[in-house]
Chain A
Amino acid sequence: GQNIDQPTEMTATEGAIVQINCTYQTSGFNGLFWYQQHAGEAPTFLSYNVLDGLEEKGRFSSFLSRSKGYSYLLLKELQMKDSASYLCAVSAGGGNKLTFGTGTQLKVEL
């Protein structure tokens, strides 16, 4: 089976930087995804990591350490619209079936 842990909620200030951590335990690891989900809306893809290291995409970056079973999503220059749930998901075994964590609810304040 797979186990994915991430904090339930976080609060940060507009303009600041926030790091959302995710730890996982799985066999047959194929990659790790981050999705953003606003309340009542579809999850939208943010990033994908399969090799160790940092992937940067604009204000968002994602890091992976396979040996530690650890990833983080880094959000810079926070905006109010970044208030959402951030879902960590692992792909393991064949195909692209994803196992999701419970999500981290981020609240951005003035």
Chain B
Amino acid sequence: NAGVMQNPRHLVRRRGQEARLRCSPMKGHSHVYWYRQLPEEGLKFMVYLQKENIIDESGMPKERFSAEFPKEGPSILRIQQVVRGDSAAYFCASAIDRVTNEKLFFGSGTQLSVL
């Protein structure tokens, strides 16, 4: 029973390139959350998606960032024209339902480094 799978674990990009981060939720989970973690800071909520729908994107920067969770395949967090400030660990979490006491299961994260 695989957990939340994220790839790649490490991603290096030069300024101006695009970064694509993938997340496959746990089997049977249809709710996906993306968080960003900067050094010495807590996990910051970015976006919450269900299959084919963005439910809450209140934490997403207005430009260059987008997320999707298609009917088939993993959820994708896409960062266009990356800048050094985008360097961070990006964590994906999944849940089986949208009830308030449902714990989130986290992936191991993608460490993005922008040169």
List residues of A whose CB falls within 8 A of some B CB: 4, 30-31, 33, 35, 40-45, 48, 50, 87, 89, 91, 94-103
Residue B103 interfacial (CB < 8 Å): yes
Q: Which of B7-49 contact A (CB under 8 A)?
A: 31, 33, 35, 40-45, 48
Cβ distance A92 to chain B, nearest Cβ, rounded Å: 9
Residue B69 interfacial (CB < 8 Å): no
Q: Count A-B contacts at CB 8 Å.
A: 67
Q: Which of B77-115 contact A (CB under 8 A)?
A: 91, 95, 98-109, 111
Is A100 touching B48 in the complex (CB atoms < 8 A)?
no
List residues of B whose CB falls within 8 A of some A CB: 3-4, 31, 33, 35, 40-45, 48, 55-56, 91, 95, 98-109, 111
Most buried by B among A31, A95, A100: A95
Is B40 touching A102 in the complex (CB atoms < 8 A)?
yes
Q: How far is the CA of A89 from the CA of B103 in the complex (A)?
A: 11
